[in-house]
């Protein structure tokens, strides 16, 4: 079964299917003194349910109904109507992201990658702006999905490796990279990728001191965004129980791995304190403290 529904959602989907199939035995139905084609009426009703579903589980129940009624073209209609503007609407973004995560279960691999890209790009990190609200529930939903469905997890990991700059510049993508370290299947790989990414970025940052003209390049902007992402991540760990449970261990493991890099061994100690050293070591130690 694709969707693991709660008892309430399961009962709702079962009842909805029984009623819908019963109605579809008739070519036409009467509603408010109007004669309507039954198929058109059911399709419109189910599509309204797609838009009105307010939780991850409720939307999953609607998708169960859609698949059982062989109305999967409604999924394509949903994408067509929402892909251009829906995720750009800050108010709709959390709810629509949750629905997109659910839809990963019913699309082909090509569409899956397109959805991942849309979700990641919909949550850009802006320097100096506080963390986006209502994001951690989407991250948690994505982790549960990837843990149970290896094809989705594998697609996510492949996307992270191929579009690292986009992922690191996105709040959703950045948090997901850390959260995937909580999935045993991907823990070692994702921690290695994170460590390499941070090492490359801070090597670049060191070069800026010598070649200041590249500071405003695309990579320079990514460095600044990643530093801001870490600041916001630490704040989330302090304020959000869900974030702490999902992201604390990966955060500590990453910082510890950065402290152990061969390039961080040259440290200058003066009066028992670190006076100078590798920038990435100084960064990691400061965040840990």
Mean pLDDT over 242-257 rounds to: 88
Alpha helices in 31-180 (DSSP H): 38-52, 56-68, 73-82, 93-103, 109-121, 136-148, 150-162, 164-168, 171-179
Give the per-residue pLDDT at 274: 46
> Using one digit for the tens of pLDDT, what is the confidence trace for 133-150?
889 999 999 999 999 999
Give the per-residue pLDDT at 271: 44
Question: What gap in Å lies between CA 134 and CA 136, rounded to an integer?
Answer: 6
Residue 212: pLDDT above 60? no
Which range among 37-51, 76-90, 169-183, 242-256 shows the weakest confidence by mean pLDDT? 76-90
Give the per-residue pLDDT at 87: 77
Closest by CA to 2, choosing from 71, 96, 101, is: 101
Residue 131: pLDDT above 80? yes
Give the per-residue pLDDT at 159: 92
Residue 154: pLDDT above 70? yes
First vs last C-alpha separation in the chain? 46
Residue with token string 């100096």:
128
| 253: its two tokens | 């493991």
> Using one digit for the tens of pLDDT, what is the confidence trace for 79-100?
888 875 667 778 889 999 999 9
Helix (H) or strand (E) holding 269: strand 268-270
Mean pLDDT over 146-173 rounds to: 92
Give the per-residue pLDDT at 272: 46
Mean pLDDT over 104-125 rounds to: 91
Query: CB count, 10 Å around CB of 282?
Result: 15
Helix (H, G, I), strand (E, B) or coil at 274: strand
Question: What gap in Å lies between CA 102 and CA 115, rounded to an integer?
Answer: 11
Farthest CA pair distance, the chain: 89
| 282: its two tokens | 């100084």
């Amino acid at each position: 079964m694709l969707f693991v529904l709660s008892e309430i959602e399961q009962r709702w989907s079962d009842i909805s299917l029984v009623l819908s199939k019963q109605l579809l035995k008739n070519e036409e139905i009467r509603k408010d003194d109007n004669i309507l084609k039954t198929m058109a009426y059911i399709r419109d009703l189910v599509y309204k349910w797609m838009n009105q579903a307010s939780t991850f589980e409720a939307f999953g129940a609607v998708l169960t109904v859609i698949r059982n009624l062989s109305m999967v073209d409604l999924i394509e209609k949903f994408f067509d109507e929402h892909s251009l503007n829906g995720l750009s609407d800050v108010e709709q973004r959390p709810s629509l992201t949750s629905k997109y995560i659910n839809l990963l279960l019913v699309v082909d691999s090509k569409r899956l990658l397109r959805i991942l890209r849309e979700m990641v790009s919909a949550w850009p990190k802006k320097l100096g702006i506080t963390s986006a609200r209502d994001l951690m529930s989407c991250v948690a939903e994505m982790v549960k999905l990837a843990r149970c469905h290896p094809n989705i997890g594998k697609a996510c990991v492949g996307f992270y490796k191929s579009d690292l700059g986009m992922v690191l510049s996105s709040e959703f993508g950045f948090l997901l990279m850390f959260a995937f370290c909580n999935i045993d299947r991907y823990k070692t790989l994702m921690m290695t990728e994170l460590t390499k990414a941070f090492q490359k970025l801070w090597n670049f940052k060191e070069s800026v001191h010598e070649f200041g003209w590249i500071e405003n390049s695309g990579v320079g902007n990514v460095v600044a965004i990643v530093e801001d992402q870490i600041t916001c991540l630490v704040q989330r760990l302090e304020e959000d129980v869900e974030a702490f449970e999902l992201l604390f261990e990966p955060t500590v493991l990453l910082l510890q791995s950065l402290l152990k890099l061969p390039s961080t061994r040259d440290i200058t100690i003066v009066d028992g304190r670190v006076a100078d050293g590798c920038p990435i070591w100084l960064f990691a130690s400061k965040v840990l403290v």
